[in-house]
Each structure stands twice: as C-alpha cells, then as structure tokens.
Amino acid sequence: MAALDITRPRDLIFTLPYAGVDRRRRATVQGADLPGVVTVEVTVGQHRAPARRGAAYRVVVEDAATSFQLVYFHARDEYLRRLLPTGARRVVSGKVELFDGIAQMVHPDHVLAPEEAGEIPGFEPVYPLTAGVTQRVMAKAAQAALTRALDLAEWVDPVQKAQAGWPDWAEALRAAHAPESARDLAPAHPARERLAYDELMAHQLTLALARAKLRRAKGRATVGTGDLQARVLAALPYAPTGAQIRAISEIAGDMAAPVRMNRLLQGDVGSGKTLVAFKALLIAVEAGGQGVLMAPTEILARQHLQGLQPLAETAGVVLEILTGRDKGAVRRRKLEALRRGEIQILVGTHAVFQKDVEFADLRLAIVDEQHRFGVRQRLELGQKGAQADVLVMTATPIPRSLALAQYGDMDVSVLDEKPPGRKPVKTALVSLGRIDEVVDHLRRAIAEGRQAYWVCPLVEESEVVDLASAEDRFRRLRAALGEGRVGLVHGQMPPEEKDAAMAAFQRGATSVLVATTVIEVGVDVPNASIMVIERAESFGLAQLHQLRGRVGRGLAASTCLLLYQPPLGEAGARRLETMRDTEDGFRISEVDLAMRGAGDVIGTAQSGLPKFRIADLEAQSALMAVAQSDARKLLSDDPEMTGPRGRAARVLLWLMEQDQAIRLISVG
C-alpha cells in the first residue's frame, strides 16, 4: 500500500473513509433517484448469454414492483448461473442507470442470499484505495486493525473535551470508521474533530518542547542604551507606525530577558520590516555585541545591504556583507575583522553558516526567510552564537492556522500597517487584446520620467520557453519604445549580467525592465510606478501579491495591470478579482489557502509543514490555535511530562511518531 503510505495497523486506523454509499434496502428500483446506488430483493428470471464475444451477459430480475436487468461483461456463464439460479431470491446492491428506458445494474457490488444480506451495511464507508486493493479488503483490514486499538489514558484537557463533546480516543476511532450517514463524514463531526485535534496536539507539543528547550538554553540579557536607535529615528523622514513601535518593543523585551528569543516577524509587502530588523540589530550593537542578518539569495543580501547602509552610516555603525562570492584575501580580511569585533553588523547568505565564520560576540541572528527554514535549521542557527537571540522575518503573509503549523514554536509579531507615504496601488484587469493600449500608456509614462516592470508569463513546461517569451516581449517593447529604454532580466542569465541589468534600471538608465519572476523578491526601485503582469491568470495569488509589492514604493501614484487571456476560468477569475479588490496580504493569503490548500500555499517541497492524515488545516484552522495553547499550558503545568496527563501525552507523541519530540523529552 505504498501510495497510501500504510505499512502497519496504526496507519490503517488513521486512514479514515472519505465518503459513504447509502445501501439501505428498498422495495423496488421504481421511483429511486437514478443513476444511483440501489439495494433491493429480487427474484431471478431468465439468463441471456451474449450472442457474440465481448457483448454483455444479461440476467432479468424482478423486484416488488418492476423488472430490470443485471449486466455483466466478460463473465463466465457457469459462474453466473451458480451465483444467480433462475427462480431464486437474491438481495442485489449496486449502481442502477436507465439505458433506453430500461433500468440496468452493471456489475452489482453485492449479490447475496436474503439470509446473508445482513452483511451489507446500511451506509457503507468508502476508503481511499491503492492499486490492487478493493473497498472490501480495505474495510476488512481497517476493522481488524481497530480490534487492536486499546482504550488509552486521556491526553486531552478534560474541560476542552467536555465543551467540545468529544468521545474517548478508541471510541472516536470506531465511530469514524462506522459512519451512519454523510453527516458523520464531516470534519466537524465530534469523532473526526477529536482525532484531528489529537494530530494537531501532537504537532504543537513537539513545537512547544522545542520552544521549551530553547528557553532552558541559557540566553543572555541584551539591553540597548537607545543612543544609536535615537540617531536613526531622528534622521528618518517619517515616524514609525504603531505596528513597528509595538514589534520593536516586543523584540527589545525578548532580548533583555535572560532566555533566548525565538520570534517571528511577519509583515506584508512594504510594511517596514527593514527598520524593525535594523533597530533590533542596533540593540545588539549598543550592548557591545554583534548582529547578523541572513538572506536566502545573494541578490536579497545585497538589497538589504543597500537598504541598511545609509541607516548604518547615520548610526556610525560598521556594516559588512559576506557571500559565497567573497574569496581569498578579501574573505580572510572580513573573517578576521568579524572575529575581532570590528564588523558590528554582518549581512550575508548561508555562507555565514560555514565553520570558519566566527563572531567576537554574536547577540542576534535575523533570518529573512522566504519559507526556506524549518524548525531544525532554526535550532542550528542558534548554535552559532552560543546564546544568540533568533528573529525570523517573513514577507509572505500566512494565514494564522499555517503560521501556527509552521512557526508554533515561536512568538509572533505582526506588522499590519503600511508606513506613511506608501500610496495604494491601483490594480486593473486588462484583456490581452488591448495590449497596444497598454504599450501606448507606457510610452506616455516614460516620457514623464516614470519607470515600469513588465513581467512575462510563466510557462510551466520549461525555462527555455519562458526565456523565449521574455526575449520576444523584450524585442517588441524595444521596437515600440526605443533601443536603449528597455532592459531584460531572466533566470538563465549569469549573475553578473542580471545584476548589471537590475543596476541600470535602478539608476534610471533603462525605463522598462522586462523580467521573468526573478524580480518577485529583489530590487527596490522607488521610481518604478507601473507593474504589468502578462498572462496574470497563470500566476498564483501569493506571487501576484509579491510582484505588485515591487511598485508603490515612491512618491508617484502606482498602477498594476493584470493582462489576461480571455476566457478566464473560474479559479483564474477569482484570483485576479481578489487582487483587484484588496491589497491586504493576509486577506489574500486566506483566499489562497481556501483555493489551493495548505501544502501549496507554502510550497510543499520546502514547507516544513507536517503531513496530517486526518486534520485539515483549511477546515480546522481554529483547532490548531486551541492545540497550541493547550500544548503550551500542558508543558508549563508539567514540564517533565510525568503527571497523568503528561504520561498520556507521551503515548500520543509515540502514536503520532513525533520522534523529534520524543528525543527532546529524553534530552530535556
């Protein structure tokens, strides 16, 4: 059962039926809702064997009111005459359809003598299957596995259990495998909800144990003097938002405590994460230590460097960058300066993880993460500075349920206000048929000194086709707008050329930058006020939102044009209309989650998201929040998990195969 990942009884009991078939007995097929499954007692009439090979074998049967046919293909004559002797009574159950006005049941699911018909359940559960396994085999296997499910001590908080009206664990399993109607299959059914909660609880307990371990790890109290921060604030042309002030004070509070900080800073595009991160780094420097800011790519690390350099100069702080590009003597010089404490703030890529990178006194590590970091990497990062505080930043707004699934071990600060001066971006949907008007609009905007991005469609099959479409668009725009006005950047370019094209656009040497999605994260060009996304319907919501966030950073009013190829499918239309109607990244992420599912929103490959067999993160997001507070409370009441509920919870962790958690308890 490889496809279903079932290797032992435990997997079977957690593989629940996803649908059901109503097999309650009827007197006749007459008046039944057809096509549909019917279970009825019949008298067997005449057999009509096929006249030629491959034709159907038919058996006429009669119920209480009418006659109909049982139809078999490739069937053996003597087998069917044994199964259905003329004149005998049989109970048959299967899908009935009308064919030329005659009711037919093709290959009945059940044919039994009336005295054996009790075997047919009134409502038959339907399980997910894999090649070579039938429903009957699966149902039997599940029932056999259920006989081994013991009554276990309760790990759910008694108040929570009573309020929700949940059954005991073993009883919940039995109920979930024996639905009596379609209502029993809903995620909100008490038995299913309880089993989903158990899964979420085990996951949140693992995260809570990781968090407790970090908290037991000695931290250092890092308290800033406020001098450097005051210098930077005085030089800013605007006041920080309430959300920024709140986030900074939460971070400063964590850093001042003697336990290690493990915090997530979640902010939408343009919510001002950079300032918050820099102020946190300054606290480390004011306390006489160092800070490091890690970005997932070289281009982003350089972007951070450009953004932070003027602030660092204002504060009089030494800021340096370290990437894989630094070699030989240059690299040695930087490492030496870092070891002596002469570099106060380091910006870099994963290169700062390498063995030979040593700090004089690392107090704060910030990871700008774009989802590339799981719990394990966060624990590793903390090892660099023996007691460094850790702050993870993410620019992708994530719905609360997913944030808890992925970052449940962390405390969260959210930036949900735009800094003053960020103008809203006007978004319009434009059919590809009107592309000439769009080019005219660009020509006028460029004449006024404005700049624009033109993002080319994503062609799933190959980067080569992506490239061809980008080069083709580049040539056409260059012909329409003038030789030197248009630049091109795509994923196949050598990094030097890519940087040169970006730099030319940043300086204003080119007015339009034609790009594949490499600009989704990257350059900040305040003068760019137009974003054209070609074949926008082929992009995901999160990507569209990130791309739109590239404009609206300067003084000019900005527009985002979503060019689509009609007719739009339902999903494409919903995505583009959501983009037109809101700029709130959290709202957009909720729609994205509802449309695509959890794994896709975070990108399953690097999601760090657990695989749940029963729990459904979209439908049961509220349960995840309950599981988190319950797990944290359980550990604060019983840190060693030795009390009755703690011991029961150990069994739960073992059942849910949370090996990492089990290791944490034993080390803990």
**Per the omega criterion (within 30 degrees of 0), is the bond before 179 cis?**
no
In single-letter form, the type of residue at position 311 comes to: L
The mean pLDDT value for 1-10 works out to 68
Between 263 and 355, where is the model more confident?
A: 263
H-helix or E-strand containing 113?
A: none
Domain 24-120 class? mainly beta
pLDDT for position 221: 86
**Domain 227-415 carries which CATH code?**
3.40.50.300
Over the chain, what is the mean pLDDT?
84
Contact residues for 245 (Cβ-Cβ < 8 A; gap 6+): none
Pairwise CA distance, residues 138 & 641, whole Å = 37
Q: pTM of the entire structure?
A: 0.65
Give residue 379's pLDDT. Answer: 55
Q: Which residues of 386-404 are buried (b: 16+ CB within 10 A; e: fewer)?
A: ebbbbbbbbbbbbbbbbbb
**Mean pLDDT (whole number) for 437-460:** 86
pLDDT at 660: 64
Q: Identify the CA nearest to 34 among candidates 85, 106, 87.
A: 106
Give the pLDDT confidence score for residue 545 in this predicted structure.
86
What H or E segment, with its residue span, contains residue 92?
strand 89-99
Rounded mean pLDDT, 356-363: 88
pLDDT at residue 152 tops 80 = yes
Least confident of 310-314, 456-460, 634-638: 456-460
Q: And the tokens for 324?
A: 């894989």
Statement: 425-582 belongs to CATH 3.40.50.300: yes
Q: What is the pLDDT of residue 38?
A: 95
Quote the CA–CA distance of 525 and 380 in Å, as a whole number: 35
What is d(CA 64, CA 422) in angstroms, rounded to the nearest whole number? Answer: 75
Quote the percentage of the chain above a pLDDT of 90.
Answer: 36
Rounded average pLDDT over 428-447? 92
Contact 522, 489 (CB under 8 A): no
Residues 513-549 have pLDDT tens digits of 988 765 645 567 778 899 999 988 888 887 888 888 8
- Region 67-79: mean pLDDT is 90
What pLDDT, on a 0 to 100 scale, did the predictor assign at position 517? 66
> What pLDDT does residue 603 have?
43
pLDDT (tens digit per residue) in 540-573: 887 888 888 888 777 778 999 999 988 888 888 9
What percent of the chain has pLDDT above 70? 88
Residues of the chain with CATH 2.40.50.140: 24-120
58 strand-pairing partners: 48, 71
Residue 667 reports pLDDT greater than 50 = no
Span(s) in the chain for CATH 3.40.50.300:
227-415, 425-582
